[in-house]
Structure 1
Amino acid sequence: MKKRLIYSFLLAGSTLIAGCTKNFDQINTDPTKINGDLIIPDYFMAQAQIQFSNLGYGQLLFQSMWSQALASTYDYYGNGDKYVLRGSFDSYKANLWNNGYNATTLLDEMKNLIKGKAAYGNLDNCGTIMRMLILQRITDTYGDIPFSQEGQAKTGVYTPVFDTQQSIYTSMLDQLDKACTALDVSKPGPTSDLFYGGNADQVNQWKKLGYSLMLRAAMRLTKIAPDVAQSYAEKAYKGGTMAGINDNAKVKTDNAHSNGNADAGALTVPDDFREVRWGKTLFDYMNSNNDPRVNAIGEISAGTGKKANETQIPGILPTGQQLGMPNGYDLGGGATDISKAPGYPGATPADPAVPGDAPAPVAKYSRPKFAVYDDRNRYNFLLTYGETELLLAEASTRGWNTGTAATHFSNALTADMQTLGQFGTTSVNAADIATYVAAHPLNPATAMQQINMEYYVETATVFNFIETWCNWRRSGYPALVAVVYPNQFATSVPRRVPYPVTLPSTNGANYNAAVAKLSGGDTFTARVYWDK
């Protein structure tokens, strides 16, 4: 289980010696109780950042495989790989809800502590940007959610209303606009900041993050409210979005202090390590474009057989082309056994030198590179410069005043490959990057497909699978073919996550009102407001 980061506040005290009535308030104050004046509010920012960014199964079991970026033959991955109920299904459905609201609670408390204190103006506005980053993920996942009454339990609001997603997006865009405008680059930023802390340009980087998030939120509305999307996309571009990969919003995990990377923690469970592979949809596309990132992110086991396939050490590059595994298969021996998949490359044989070894059925399919994705101290990426450039390229392709589409696209290709170097354990050769970019100029006739397929590759390769899935729903790229498998909870690729099962008993009236607005009810195939 992942341990939650807890900051300890060490307070220096002094001994008070007084008479019966002297210093009455001090004498009658509980010395073990911490009040708001003794807490450093900045600490809540870093705590929210690590809480929100560190997902593990929160994205691996559903969105990574719904988007067909990853695939797995192992049982509990059936939730995402095959749309069947496996493992702690109800807990998985609530994962992003609980993760997001736990993180916003920290920011709510931070904002309560600094309310009315002008010296904390930049922290307050950075907190607003961070809250919008978090709440966007929650609403994009579930639809209508508590927003305007979120975090108000101290004032007696225990059953908050579920705001419509339309009103949430209206408020989000407005709040981002105001927060970005109010940030003062001449004053200090947060002192405890896992995104940009220690950078001389910290406050300006938060401003660029805010405008980039505004752009992403605006582009979610392209199908449902194109006029609003255009207005805010142009506002974000004018305000100043991310300008390079150093502006990437990312969080470094810290295994030595109980904050190990949750994705890596999940993938190094023996069953996961043995059977989670890159998806065929993703790798087929990358291979078709001679994408040099394939060898930066994929590998196979250096040895043959099941034992070697379970040994957690760096692997090797296969001879010839790397293969992604198709979704929808298992190791059950029946009609859906992986050996029945079209183009199945065969198992690697048991190693005769290993007692009791067995063949490894999926070992010839490429797995996420061990040194990169299984590093318990690696970064979690939340929003990147490359993604921002791709969104600007799409906005420009739509004829909006956001610069030149071809330039944004070229910038994105370069940045997306360079971003892999920020993991610190892999990279793409600069010459290979230049060759790839030159060979893939933006073609106006296929621009939407090129832009959004690159968005697919970029978000998947940095393991930001929530965004991979969200942009697929918005753009329609890639053109996914739903998995067919017995006893599915959905016969098409899931488009939302049902609400946590606790809500009918804890906030029943508001839950029922939200569900009543969903076409098809509280299901995996209902669509959120912007997904039309």
Structure 2
Amino acid sequence: MKFNTIYLIAVAFMIIVTASCKKDLANANVNPDQITSAKYDPNLLLTTAQLAYPGATNVGGSAWATKWGAVGCFIQHVASTSSAFYYGDKYINNIGAMGEMFQDSYTSDVQPVIELYQLTANKPQYRNLHQMARIMKALIFEQITDLYGDIPYFQAGLGYYDRIYTPVYDSQQTIYNDLLKEVSQATDSLTEDGDKPTGDIFYSLSSDQIGEWKKFGNSLLLRMAMRLTKIDIATAQTYATKAITGTTMQSNNDNAIVEHIESGNALTSNQDAVQIFGNDSLDLRLSDTLVNNMKKYNDPRLAVVAWLYDGVTADSTSANQIGLPPGYIIGGNNPKVDITKRSDYPANGLAGYSRLSDNILNIGAPSLVVTYAETEFLRAEAAVRWPGITGDLTAAAHYKNGVTAAINQLSTYGTFPSITDGAIAAYYANVKYNAADALEQINTQYWLCTLMDEYECYANFRRSGYPALTPTNYPGNVTSGTIPRRLTYPPSQKTSNLANYNTAVARLTGGDKMTSRVWWDK
């Protein structure tokens, strides 16, 4: 999954010029030496969009403030004693931080992918690149709408092309209908007879680039289809059937991955690591919900993803790992939420709680975008819901494939210690498929395998209801002690797009709150 590093250098240039290219295009007849759409390779915009998706170009913003400050805590992958930085641990309403992802995405993710879509439309030399643009566009917008609900979609990013500067918020139902259509059509339209895009981070070095994109497209289509199982079961089944029939990912070799580089260039670094370490490297810890689940079933991943670190030495021994309970602070006037008053508080303080290891949290660590393991869990659930949909393989078989692949995908990080086949087999024996608890098992494993992909994990948790997390009830929380169901819009929308913002808020039951539910979460 490695890609040509020349594109990482070029993309930095592209990110700088993208914001100004509209002005350049408008003045093209005045200065023929300025950069125009005819003078640069749109492949670079694909690189930009792929880098931006996991947060790589959102320097100083949403990867920390929204992904880990809110969502990672909501789903109890992580916990913190801070109520300011990691407000999601206590369901505090930090509207500015929750809106960071919205603002960053429309700048760093949406703009380049819309530009790519427009510049490659109806151009035979970019036939496949255009289909990839459609798929990437759907991937990006799915993530935004899953977090906020109704968002600008059809008019987003069209300031230059259509002079639309205050885009309408489209309903999530309408957005999802279009996302499913776009991914389905784009995947079907990819052709071996067309171009082989060189700016593709995911698969450009594969001997079967177009085939890989078809599997990626179908896997994404399956994920989108399964998102609707609470709200529109007929549409979910229709598109799940189409995705599965069209061939989804077949092994970890098909995983869509953004590789990062250990360098001083923030554009090519893993922003999870850059922003967590840059803002607060001491207080974010793995939740005891996660650690206890992994210890209970002797999960071999624990020694890879967790360690105890005192600033000098690191201990990755599974038996020694201790997760931080959510909903606590250090000190204060309420002994019920002062973690130092607990009888099991470590003698060495916060250092006694496990944190994300440097195997998976470092500036050179890759970002997994869509994986075979996730896809197999979704196929397992589809087989439970609609027997026979996956053909010869049963739900149990897909579940086992998912468990095995989820563990083996850690090799992407170059992890140490390695996990043996024997350890995987022993773990599976502890979590073996049981038809009576199938949906809980499948989606709990999905929760485990999407550690580091917090937005997707949060969406699947809200959709499936698993695992059954115990919410916190920290004094002053704004959700009445319930796990938040969405993020609130950024305050800037009240000044830059007030009328459309108000219309969108009016459609939310309860208004623009963390307890309001997006359309598919009804």
Q: TM-score, normalised by structure 1?
A: 0.87
Which residue number corresponds to residue 36 of structure 1? 37
**Which amino acid is 1:70 matched to?**
V
Q: Is the 8 A contact 1:265 1:374 kept in 2?
A: no
Give the Å deviation of 1:40: 0.4
Q: Is the 8 A contact 1:188 1:203 kept in 2?
A: no
After TM superposition, the structure 1 = structure 2 runs for residues 38-437 of structure 1, keeping only pairs within 5 Å, are 38-54=39-55, 56-57=63-64, 58-85=66-93, 89-102=94-107, 103-154=109-160, 155-256=162-263, 257-259=265-267, 260-269=269-278, 272-301=280-309, 309=310, 311=311, 315-318=314-317, 320-334=319-333, 335=335, 336-341=337-342, 344-348=344-348, 361-370=349-358, 372-400=359-387, 401-403=389-391, 404-426=394-416, 427-437=418-428
Q: 1:454 to 1:159 in 2, by over 3 A?
A: same
Give the Å deviation of 1:333: 4.8
Q: Is the 8 A contact 1:51 1:99 kept in 2?
A: no
Whole-Å Cα distance in 2 between the matches of residues 7 and 139 of structure 1? 29
Give the Å deviation of 1:418: 0.6
Q: Is the 8 A contact 1:283 1:323 kept in 2?
A: yes
Unaligned 5+ segments in structure 1 are: 10-26, 302-308, 349-360
Give the Å deviation of 1:437: 2.5
SS at match of 2:351: coil
Residues 473-514 of structure 1: CA deviation (Å, up to 9, x unaligned) = 111111122211122122211110111111122222211111
Q: Is the 8 A contact 1:242 1:385 kept in 2?
A: yes
Give the Å deviation of 1:398: 0.8
Q: Is the 8 A contact 1:5 1:258 kept in 2?
A: no
Give the Å deviation of 1:208: 0.9
Give the Å deviation of 1:319: 7.7
Q: Which moved more, 1:438-447 or 1:118-127?
A: 438-447
Residues 281-315 of structure 1: CA deviation (Å, up to 9, x unaligned) = 111212111111111111112xxxxxxx3x3x661
Q: Is the 8 A contact 1:52 1:99 kept in 2?
A: no
Q: 1:37 to 1:441 in 2, by over 3 A?
A: same
Whole-Å Cα distance in 2 between the matches of residues 267 and 503 of structure 1? 27
Q: Is the 8 A contact 1:299 1:317 kept in 2?
A: yes
Q: Which moved more, 1:117-126 or 1:289-298?
A: 289-298
Give the Å deviation of 1:438: 4.1
Does 1:487 pair with 2:476?
yes
After TM superposition, the structure 1 = structure 2 runs for residues 432-451 of structure 1, keeping only pairs within 5 Å, are 432-451=423-442
Q: 1:153 to 1:29 in 2, by over 3 A?
A: closer
Q: 1:321 to 1:188 in 2, by over 3 A?
A: same
Unaligned 5+ segments in structure 2 are: 1-8, 16-27, 56-61
Q: Which moved more, 1:444-453 or 1:93-102?
A: 93-102
Give the Å deviation of 1:436: 2.0
Q: 1:347 to 1:185 in 2, by over 3 A?
A: farther
Give the Å deviation of 1:268: 2.1
Does 1:526 pair with 2:516?
yes
Q: Is the 8 A contact 1:43 1:192 kept in 2?
A: yes
Residues 440-474 of structure 1: CA deviation (Å, up to 9, x unaligned) = 331110101110000010002xx001111111111
Q: 1:300 to 1:395 in 2, by over 3 A?
A: same
Q: Is the 8 A contact 2:323 2:354 kept in 1?
A: yes
Q: Is the 8 A contact 1:46 1:192 kept in 2?
A: yes
* Structure showing greater Rg: 1
**Which amino acid is 2:48 matched to?**
Q
- Paired residues, what number? 485
Give the Å deviation of 1:258: 2.9
